[in-house]
Amino acid sequence: MLNLDFHPTGRHFLQIPGPSPVPDRILRAMSLPTIDHRGPEFGALGLELLVKIKQIFKTENPVIIYPASGTGAWEAALVNTLSPGDQVLMFETGHFATLWQKMARRLGIEPEFLWLPGDQGWRQGVQADMIEARLKQDIDHEIKAVCVVHNETSTGVTSDIAAVRRAIDAAGHPALLMVDTISGLASADYRHDEWGVDVTISGSQKGLMLPPGISFNALSDKAVKTSKSARLPKSFWAWDEILEANKHGYWPYTPNTNLLYGLNESLDMLLGEGLEHVLARHQRWAAGVRAAVNAWGLEIQCQDPAVYSPVLTGVVMPDGVDADAVRKLIYERFDLSLGMGLGKAKGRMFRIGHLGDCNDLTLIATLGGCEAGMKLAGVPLEDSGVLAALDCFARHPLDANR
Amino acid sequence: MLNLDFHPTGRHFLQIPGPSPVPDRILRAMSLPTIDHRGPEFGALGLELLVKIKQIFKTENPVIIYPASGTGAWEAALVNTLSPGDQVLMFETGHFATLWQKMARRLGIEPEFLWLPGDQGWRQGVQADMIEARLKQDIDHEIKAVCVVHNETSTGVTSDIAAVRRAIDAAGHPALLMVDTISGLASADYRHDEWGVDVTISGSQKGLMLPPGISFNALSDKAVKTSKSARLPKSFWAWDEILEANKHGYWPYTPNTNLLYGLNESLDMLLGEGLEHVLARHQRWAAGVRAAVNAWGLEIQCQDPAVYSPVLTGVVMPDGVDADAVRKLIYERFDLSLGMGLGKAKGRMFRIGHLGDCNDLTLIATLGGCEAGMKLAGVPLEDSGVLAALDCFARHPLDANR
Amino acid sequence: MLNLDFHPTGRHFLQIPGPSPVPDRILRAMSLPTIDHRGPEFGALGLELLVKIKQIFKTENPVIIYPASGTGAWEAALVNTLSPGDQVLMFETGHFATLWQKMARRLGIEPEFLWLPGDQGWRQGVQADMIEARLKQDIDHEIKAVCVVHNETSTGVTSDIAAVRRAIDAAGHPALLMVDTISGLASADYRHDEWGVDVTISGSQKGLMLPPGISFNALSDKAVKTSKSARLPKSFWAWDEILEANKHGYWPYTPNTNLLYGLNESLDMLLGEGLEHVLARHQRWAAGVRAAVNAWGLEIQCQDPAVYSPVLTGVVMPDGVDADAVRKLIYERFDLSLGMGLGKAKGRMFRIGHLGDCNDLTLIATLGGCEAGMKLAGVPLEDSGVLAALDCFARHPLDANR
Amino acid sequence: MLNLDFHPTGRHFLQIPGPSPVPDRILRAMSLPTIDHRGPEFGALGLELLVKIKQIFKTENPVIIYPASGTGAWEAALVNTLSPGDQVLMFETGHFATLWQKMARRLGIEPEFLWLPGDQGWRQGVQADMIEARLKQDIDHEIKAVCVVHNETSTGVTSDIAAVRRAIDAAGHPALLMVDTISGLASADYRHDEWGVDVTISGSQKGLMLPPGISFNALSDKAVKTSKSARLPKSFWAWDEILEANKHGYWPYTPNTNLLYGLNESLDMLLGEGLEHVLARHQRWAAGVRAAVNAWGLEIQCQDPAVYSPVLTGVVMPDGVDADAVRKLIYERFDLSLGMGLGKAKGRMFRIGHLGDCNDLTLIATLGGCEAGMKLAGVPLEDSGVLAALDCFARHPLDANR
């Protein structure tokens, strides 16, 4: 069997902002025997999954489950709603927003990319007022959709989606609102229906604590209606046949059964704990990690406290320090994986994931590895981040009455 | 945890022609911890997988691995090689050939569907001479690809792909040859390079003994070259970025890591046993199952012994018998899943899968369940199929010298 | 990792009369993380286990759970109740009764071994009238205990324990009644309290469907009282400290935590199904297997239909046939393990286990392997046993209304 | 399935001095299917295990493997070598030495318990000079064995066994040397042959990283010879039948197969890493943990640096602090299990296990939980132990050249 162990003992600390560690409960669920995806047990499972997943998105509308990783769900959102040459409005919040925009272009759509000067877009998130202004100019309603990233995995900024909806409404514009919350779902507050999102894109390997391989499109009535006249070619991603088959708990083609077992277990865990508790847990962890970064005297990538991500924190290295060299040292010495700086941020920051199947001490270990590694790499630190986080966690118990 | 057990004890016999039973070795491999898909261990795993998978397709050319189920790989083959309005030639071998043809039409391609009268196409497989004749008429080379199914999962017919290649060559036609061997790979003899296939489509949940969720495109130089000018929109399925990232063992987006662990284990099992041994094992099982069907005095769906499938056998019910009622009775009484008749064959046949992680006694149990179930359902049987198969297995040991 | 696979594919058929196949549910439960055996979760688990296990023994009295395999529980029963030189009465029902008698002698006890001439004791089970006669002679009550085997694993004879109790009572004798039902528990009807058993010995690897490593002593008040004055040295096996610690769900020394997780799952499975249903299932399977042996025209080791075992069936080979050679051929050709003839029966019989995590088709497969193997070995068979069993199973559904 | 999770997410930190966390590799190995313990695969496994286990004990002599937890192996050592009324010399090093002495007394042996005044024996380990002096007085060689604990799990003192051997030799005394290294094996340096130990007792749930349920007796020629005339009753524990059956890789009764799979994997892991590397790893962790305790300004239970345990560290609470209340707070707030004070040390200390499947960051997390918990409980601490340990680990890499 595959040997993944660089280090001889102990568990690897996988503290990247996804894939996040998969709990044993989910791995065990995934090891149930594969069944006939056209048999009665499967239909019962399918119906149950399709109901439970809605609660995670906070929607009464259908959620499409794809047997494909998250990038596929980006494509699905676009090809189901748009026609060749359609204009869409996007906002440069980071590396993933940029990739989605490239995908749109590649698929024959015309994305317009709003941005802030310098690296400000990567540190402040979506500016709803810019979207409103642009939509107001679009008198002929050439723009068919506004596409934004909720939790930008490359930066640790969680944009205000309700504000984007208000901007669209203020402009009186009919564009669809499509939101990527691949790394936000089940970790950051998200409300598909309340915020008036038309298509929400998400994936399995972050807050749902699953391996990668499942992705989602949550829909609105308007999105479904739009899809009937959208002319980009589609078959695998097409909502219509899936919605039809889903009525009985099935899929038009073979779903990835064992990952769905894992999804079922994940949903039972999250809904059993209570989604609000899950979100509070992430906020608390994020506060502890930011306390550490502040104690170190380092910069947090996100510059607007209103949009700090509860899922991950980007730690900016001082000028002249190669963040990737620091990450490598930490990985080799302390069996800890951190997220690299992506795109424009390459080599300038590392990202700490604090999501999913963690606990206080997991994060203390993580911050300990970061602190010791940065010291060994010669990064000047003001104070101990580990102690700051420990203090934060000690002073703020998650459940006073649990 | 999910309870999948309709029956209180014992293992369910999953003898549908895929998903096939997943060996415990593979389930255990899939339970390894998810790692950083951008870290060094992942790159090493990726490179190893990409080399080993070629041996299964018998190719020196690249094989694309998608984090999506098989239907996605059908779409990938089409969108990477074709442009809107392109003509392709397909052959109606059964339900899956029909579905692929519908997909092509949905994607904006113009499929021409060759067929034999009545249900003959569903019982005899691809007729290479008809393809040759049609291509010879196509003087202007409007037909861009010939798309056929190798092992038709809905019928148990394994068409002669080498003959199709000879037909194309005899017609002197430049069309690409694209072949679906989703249910044939690693069970039926298949030779991507030797047979001059341009794109082979396959999936994980059959001969590879994995859960569904991975699919493949094996390529040819010609296919790669063609893809550069193909104009159907594509991004998730696009070969170019994947081929580029694969050079270092990575993927341009998140791969489904834990299923790849399973794939790695599957490849070690198959290559460790020896692919020729794997194929011989399937031929032997198929012979035993056909001996049973013959003893029962029932018809095999495939009418040409040259193209009997080593993977599954379609058993035709006598007129007036509802095959689905028989299957349901067998499922409820004997904890055994059989494949249903699909499309035109609905209610007229059931399909016995004899692939992957089976052994002689698994199949004896399967045939026992079929025999007892058919008797209970009042299907007239001439003789005992169980005993015929048992005799066949006893007289023909797999390894005289093992 | 260990490779246990002699055959390249498929599941091994482990049809020995224990260890029996361990269901995946139990293996998954055993893979939960080991916890502190002095922590609060453990105490809660312990208390729950100690209540549930009583239902399996049908007792209101305490059941001792040892972190040791079954032979240890034999020793425990003896050392807790007897003093050096004590006389006990035993009955030669087969190989395991003989081993227990040897153990008693080795521990300094004086066993008297009742037996029937020839191999009759091995084919008819305990003769309660002989016990009654012997006890009546023992006017001075020198005999301190009657020790018998309930389900003799070496022969497939399930003796009548209620009759032994009646015999003791009829003799007005104060001897303890100690019964080994290592291979009978949770497969054959067993009633510790109703039958007035003082110590019942059992183990994990048979009807409980666990791996070996756990064993049991179910007690009576009289046994506990007797133990206070018994003078054989004991510490690890001593009931007193265990009973004391069990009050709070703990053990005086480290219990084998992960096997206890398995036991908990096993109890949930058995009690969830309903113990009476479990027993009916075993009786039905046994009837099918005996139908097969009868059809073959071979002798069943047990000659008294009143004491046929529902757990295993001994199949006697015709004179001149080496049963072990037949077993070896079946093992090598059909990936099927059968029990060997033990002690006096060595080479003369093989034993088919039909217990625990089986189903009808598992047994059809087993009988198929036996039938084909015996034919290959030249054993003359009258008729097909596989078909006889299949017919038996088909005509007698387990749950008409399930 | 059993839910062991008090806390909703993350892994529990099990940092008691055994049972220690079981690596996933071992849990996976334990989930292999149970096989026939009289079949050929089992014999091959048995022979392999019996060879590999010797390397862990550093012996050329036989090692007995019991399907029972560690306390059983204590009993086995005594009943195989001693006769009723025999005198043995023991030394009070802590709770476990005391329990072993009680067991000896219960089994009808006459233990003489050497001790230091106050709690000194519990803080300094075995005093070889006292043993030597006592043996010199025993002119008639009434003392049949010297029984000492190597790594005292209740205190964190690892006594000098070579010195005990020298003491026996200096006294010219024929007593057997019997040593309990249940919690020392595969973590602390141990040399059965070189140190002239006659019987070494050990168990599975500590340095071997297995669940509890397996225990060991490593023998010497002299021990085996002595066992032939020892008169304590024994059967389950008797070496003779086990040694005989072990010649072919089998056991005289049912071994606990799935735990043996785990043992096989454990041995492959430890021998693959190299035993010296394993020991160095433990010494390094212990140094880090002691650096933390020193920084806190708290007392280490072990007062002689020459016998600091590499396996666990006892942390003494200041007068007036209830160590169990501190432990409970840490458990509830930080999902961390620590060892309680046992026997005389109850409520006065807690024990940190630093053995087996750990790594630097696991221990940083552990020390973080201790530090924060003690602060919350009002224990006055001088300085940060977490930072001291982090510094220690950072300054001393395990493998400069790995």
pLDDT in tens, B292-308: 999 999 999 999 999 99
Q: Could you report the per-residue pLDDT of A178-227, keeping only the tens digit for each?
A: 999 999 999 999 999 999 999 999 999 999 999 999 999 999 999 999 99
B358 touching C (Cβ < 8 Å): yes
Question: Taking residues D114-122, what's their average pLDDT?
Answer: 94
User: Would you say the C-alpha torsion B32, B36, B39, B44 has a positive or negative sign?
Assistant: positive
Q: How far is the alpha carbon of C32 from chain A, nearest alpha carbon, in Å?
A: 8
A270 touching D (Cβ < 8 Å): no
Which residues are within 8 A (CB) of C104 and not within 5 positions of it... i.e. 6 or more apart?
Answer: C78, C88, C90, C110, C111, C147
Q: Where does the pLDDT of residue B6 fall: very low under 50, low under 70, confident under 90, or very high at 90 and above?
A: low
Q: How distant, in Å, are the alpha carbons of A298, D60, D163, D185, D277 from that of D194?
A: 55, 10, 12, 15, 19
Q: Where does the pLDDT of residue A38 fall: very low under 50, low under 70, confident under 90, or very high at 90 and above?
A: very high
pLDDT at D308 over 60: yes
A67 touching B (Cβ < 8 Å): yes
D366 touching A (Cβ < 8 Å): yes
Q: Where does the pLDDT of residue C6 fall: very low under 50, low under 70, confident under 90, or very high at 90 and above?
A: low
**CB distance D368–A391 less than 8 Å?**
no
For the domain made up of D24-271, give the CATH fold. Answer: Aspartate Aminotransferase; domain 2 (3.40.640)
Question: Taking residues C353-375, what's their average pLDDT?
Answer: 98
pLDDT at B4 over 90: no
Give residue limits of the domains in chain D: 13-21+274-395, 24-271
Interface A-D, measured as beta-carbon pairs within 8 A, has a size of 117
Interface A-B, measured as beta-carbon pairs within 8 A, has a size of 214
**Number of neighbours of residue D378 by Cβ within 10 angstroms:** 9
Q: Please measure the distance between the N-terminal and C-terminal CA atoms of chain A and give it in whole angstroms.
A: 41
pLDDT at B7 over 90: no
The whole-number pLDDT of residue D230 equals 98
D288 touching A (Cβ < 8 Å): no
Instruction: Kindly report which listed range (A167-176, B5-14, D236-245) carries the lowest average pLDDT score.
Output: B5-14
**CB distance C360–B23 less than 8 Å?**
no
Q: Are strands A87-91 and A143-149 parallel, antiparallel or unpaired?
A: parallel
Q: Which residue has the tokens 């027993």?
A: C279
B329 touching A (Cβ < 8 Å): no
d(CA B222, CA B225): 5
Please check whether residue C346 is in contact with residue C339, taking contact to mean a CB–CB distance below 8 angstroms.
no
B41 touching A (Cβ < 8 Å): yes
List the single residue in A2, A203, A261 with the smallest CB-CB distance to B32: A2
**CB distance D335–A23 less than 8 Å?**
no
pLDDT over 70 percentage in chain A: 99
**CB distance D258–C84 less than 8 Å?**
no
A28 touching C (Cβ < 8 Å): yes
In whole angstroms, what separates CA B87 from the centre of its chain? Answer: 25
Q: Could you report the per-residue pLDDT of C102-144, keeping only the tens digit for each?
A: 999 999 999 999 999 988 999 999 999 999 999 999 999 999 9
User: Would you say the C-alpha torsion D337, D343, D349, D352 has a positive or negative sign?
Assistant: negative
Any idea which architecture B13-17+274-395 has in CATH? Alpha-Beta Complex (3.90)
Q: Could you report the per-residue pLDDT of B90-145, keeping only the tens digit for each?
A: 999 999 999 999 999 999 999 999 999 988 999 999 999 999 999 999 999 999 99
Give which of D191, D244, D245, D241 is closest to D218, Cα–Cα. D191
Contacts of B6 in chain A (CB under 8 A): 40-41
Give chain D's mean pLDDT.
96
Closest Cα in chain B to C266: B9
One-letter-per-residue 3-state SS of C378-392: CCCCCCCHHHHHHHH
Give chain B's mean pLDDT.
96
For the domain made up of D13-21+274-395, give the CATH fold. Answer: Aspartate Aminotransferase, domain 1 (3.90.1150)
Q: Chains with ≥3 Cβ pairs under 8 A against B?
A: A, C, D
Amino acid type, A330:
I
Q: Which residue has the tokens 């010649």?
A: D247
d(CA D89, CA D147): 6
d(CA C42, CA C284): 38
pLDDT at A400 over 70: no
Please check whether residue B165 is in contact with residue B99, taking contact to mean a CB–CB distance below 8 angstroms.
no
Burial class (CB in 10 A: 0-12, 13-18, 19+), B399: exposed
**CB distance A334–D360 less than 8 Å?**
yes
Q: Could you report the per-residue pLDDT of C224-258, keeping only the tens digit for each?
A: 999 999 999 999 999 999 999 999 999 999 999 99
Give which of B352, D30, B397 is closest to C7, Cα–Cα. B397
**CB distance C361–B368 less than 8 Å?**
yes
**CB distance A24–C33 less than 8 Å?**
yes
Please check whether residue C142 is in contact with residue C173, taking contact to mean a CB–CB distance below 8 angstroms.
no
Give chain A's mean pLDDT.
96
d(CA B53, CA B95): 27
Contacts of B40 in chain A (CB under 8 A): 6
Closest Cα in chain B to D2: B1
Please check whether residue A34 is in contact with residue B15, taking contact to mean a CB–CB distance below 8 angstroms.
no
Q: Could you report the per-residue pLDDT of C270-320, keeping only the tens digit for each?
A: 999 999 999 999 999 999 999 999 999 999 999 999 999 999 999 999 999
The whole-number pLDDT of residue D401 equals 45
B348 touching C (Cβ < 8 Å): no
C29 touching B (Cβ < 8 Å): no
Contacts of D12 in chain C (CB under 8 A): 33, 35
Q: Where does the pLDDT of residue C401 fall: very low under 50, low under 70, confident under 90, or very high at 90 and above?
A: very low
d(CA A311, CA A186): 10
The whole-number pLDDT of residue C20 equals 96
d(CA D164, CA C139): 56
Q: Which of C24, C210, C239, C258 to mutate to test the interface with D (most CBs of D within 10 A)?
A: C258
Question: Taking residues B250-277, what's their average pLDDT?
Answer: 97
Closest Cα in chain A to C27: A28
C387 touching B (Cβ < 8 Å): yes
B139 touching D (Cβ < 8 Å): no
Which residues 188-247 of B are in CB contact (within 8 Å) with A?
A: 203, 205, 211-213, 232-236, 238
Contacts of B385 in chain C (CB under 8 A): none
Burial class (CB in 10 A: 0-12, 13-18, 19+), D172: exposed
Question: Taking residues C170-189, what's their average pLDDT?
Answer: 98
Closest Cα in chain A to D390: A372
Residue A152, helix vs strand vs coil: strand
**CB distance B9–C359 less than 8 Å?**
yes
Q: Chains with ≥3 Cβ pairs under 8 A against D?
A: A, B, C
Please check whether residue C201 is in contact with residue C77, taking contact to mean a CB–CB distance below 8 angstroms.
yes
Q: Could you report the per-residue pLDDT of D160-199, keeping only the tens digit for each?
A: 999 999 999 999 999 999 999 999 999 999 999 999 999 9
D27 touching B (Cβ < 8 Å): no
Q: Which two tokens stand for residue D82?
A: 């001693």
Contacts of D336 in chain A (CB under 8 A): 361
**CB distance C28–A28 less than 8 Å?**
yes
Its ipTM equals 0.97
Q: What is the homologous superfamily of the domain A13-20+274-395 according to CATH? A: Aspartate Aminotransferase, domain 1 (3.90.1150.10)
**CB distance C255–D32 less than 8 Å?**
no
Phi and psi at D260, nearest 5°, equal -65, -35
In whole angstroms, what separates CA B275 from the centre of its chain? Answer: 16
Which residues are within 8 A (CB) of B270 and not within 5 positions of it... i.e. 6 or more apart?
Answer: B56, B186, B208, B278
Which residues are within 8 A (CB) of C345 and not within 5 positions of it... i.e. 6 or more apart?
Answer: C94, C95, C119, C122, C154, C155, C301, C314
Q: How distant, in Å, are the alpha carbons of A378, A379, A402 from that of A321?
A: 9, 7, 44
Q: How far is the alpha carbon of C1 from chain A, nearest alpha carbon, in Å?
A: 7
Please check whether residue C183 is in contact with residue C153, taking contact to mean a CB–CB distance below 8 angstroms.
yes
List the single residue in B8, B358, B386 with the smallest CB-CB distance to C10: B358
The whole-number pLDDT of residue D402 equals 44
Q: Could you report the per-residue pLDDT of C36-93, keeping only the tens digit for each?
A: 999 999 999 999 999 999 999 999 999 999 999 999 999 999 999 999 999 999 999 9
**CB distance C364–B376 less than 8 Å?**
no
Contacts of C33 in chain A (CB under 8 A): 24
Q: Where does the pLDDT of residue A399 fall: very low under 50, low under 70, confident under 90, or very high at 90 and above?
A: confident
Q: How far is the alpha carbon of A368 from chain D, nearest alpha carbon, in Å?
A: 7
